[in-house]
Structure 1
Amino acid sequence: MKAPRVIAHPSRPQMARALADALAEALRRAIAARGVARIAVPGGETPREMLTRLGEAELDWPRVVVTLTDERLTPPGHPRANETMLAGSLLAGRARAARFVPLRGAGDGPDALEAARRALRERALPLDVAVLGMGADMHAASLFPGARGLEAALAPDAPPLCRIDPEGALEPRVTLSAPTLAAAPERHLVIAGADKRAALERALALDDPRAAPVLAVLGGAVVHYAD
């Protein structure tokens, strides 16, 4: 695996500003090269400020396609849904003009999953940029160690979207598969706090994506860290 590049930022607000600027520039480059830019972004609290800042960037947002790295299978509008967080951060600003591709169809059955896969293939892939968070358990997106569905989502021939059932979670999830995320030529991992930095070091020492799924998307990525 190509080693990731780690950037230590002086503070979390400075990390949010720097990463938002870097992502805006990456999207501009993709639009200039291909006429469209495709980005997948995470849920959670750590990236919220960055996503809000990115959403206010001066970009040709109608040429940007936005999707999520993963989603909880909750009812629409549920406060735990990543889509709800995105609506109040990135898509609350200028980026509301972007084209958003959700990760779920109507319901959580096989037909809904296949419909979401079809929409991703037709509208949101291949990704130009993937932005990911990481948990202290070394998961990224919803690629959780030990979760039912992890092996299928890590497989080289995995479909773009996979169902994942993490042990002890309040709801099942869907996640972009490891090969779909790893194929993005520009990948950024956002972590905050000493526990996340320690988890990253543990993952790099393990060298096993089944135990530390973040490794499946980490090679050649840029890691942004702040205390």
Structure 2
Amino acid sequence: MISWRKFDSRAQMVDALEEDTTEALSRALRKHGRASWAVSGGSTPKPLFEAMAEVDIAWEDVQVALVDERWVDIGHPRSNEAFMRGALETGKAAEAHFVGMKTPHDSPWDGAAEVNKRYSSLAQPFASVLLGMGPDAHTASFFPEAEGLEAALDMGNESLCVALTAKKSAVTGDEVDRMSLSASAIASSPHVALMITGEEKLAVLENALEKDTHLPVARLAKVADIIVYWAP
């Protein structure tokens, strides 16, 4: 199910997301003594990461992990882990424990068992999950017609992480092999935020929800409670 929070400016959106994410993490810390936050890469969340890096919470008890990753090493220019660390390993958030997805295996399919073992050590469910969305209506690494998509979206699949191979496109680039949180892992979180900006992505999302409901973001919205944070 989708709920909407629309803002007049990106600064207002970031402020609201900072407040809501901080509350979600703080709630888990109070209840369990630790909390996990799953985050996405890309340019859109960077201002949020910069804001969250200065939030005064018990970061030493927070685990920050990835929603999804291209199957590339951290030295690759399109590594989500490198982006996450560069944006969040500053200020107070530097005390958090950062967890990547990439393993030494040749493919995400070969590395899936190890990634699931790694993620099973994280506080579950994730206190907060931050999603993005591409112009093709993919979210996480749920790309249209990707190999592994049905397993990834299967709510009966109890794996935390799943391997996918996307069809190469302008959106995927050359890095079609991916690792992603499963739909069931995302849906279990009490705070699932979809952060998007601009009229184009708003139109993509509305079209997926209202017409092309077979697209991944619409399919995820059927099984997860998602709050859309949008600004022009």
Q: Is the 8 A contact 1:206 1:212 kept in 2?
A: no
Classify the secondary structure of the residue corresponding to 2:163. Answer: strand
Q: When the two structures are superposed, what TM-score results if normalisation uses the length of structure 2?
A: 0.90
Q: CA RMSD in A?
A: 1.6
TM score, norm. by length of structure 1: 0.92
The secondary structure found in structure 2 opposite 1:45 is coil
Q: Aligned letter for 1:198? A: A
Please list every run of at least 4 consecutive aligned residues from structure 1 whose deviation after the TM superposition is greater than 6 angstroms.
none
* Contact 2:145–2:166, Cα closer than 8 Å, also in 1: yes
Farther-moved stretch of structure 1 (41-50 vs 153-162)? 153-162
Counterpart residue identity of residue 223, structure 1: V
- The DSSP-based 3-state class of the residue aligned with 1:156 is coil
Aligned equivalent of 1:179: 184
How far apart, CA to CA, are the structure 2 residues paired with 1:114 and 1:201? 36
Per-residue deviation, 1:35:
0.8
State the match for 1:86 in structure 2: 84
Does the aligned pair in 2 maintain the 1:20–1:53 contact within 8 Å?
yes
> What displacement does 1:111 show?
4.6
Change beyond 3 A, Cα 1:95–1:108: farther
Alpha-carbon distance between aligned partners in 2 of 1:100 and 1:91, rounded to the nearest angstrom: 9
Instruction: State the partner residue of 2:115.
Output: 116
1:182/1:216 contact within 8 Å kept: no
Matched, 1:54 2:59: no
Length, aligned pairs only: 223
5 Å matches for 1:19-38?
A: 19-38=17-36
* Correspondent of 1:212 among 212, 215, 222: 215
- The unaligned stretches of length 5 or more in structure 1 are none
| Post-superposition offset of 1:26 | 1.4
Q: 1:108 to 1:53 in 2, by over 3 A?
A: farther
Contact kept, 8 Å, 1:9 with 1:15, in 2: the verdict is yes
Identity of aligned residues (%): 37
Among 50, 66, 69, the alignment partner of 1:68 is 66
User: Which consecutive unaligned segments of at least 5 residues does structure 2 have?
Assistant: none
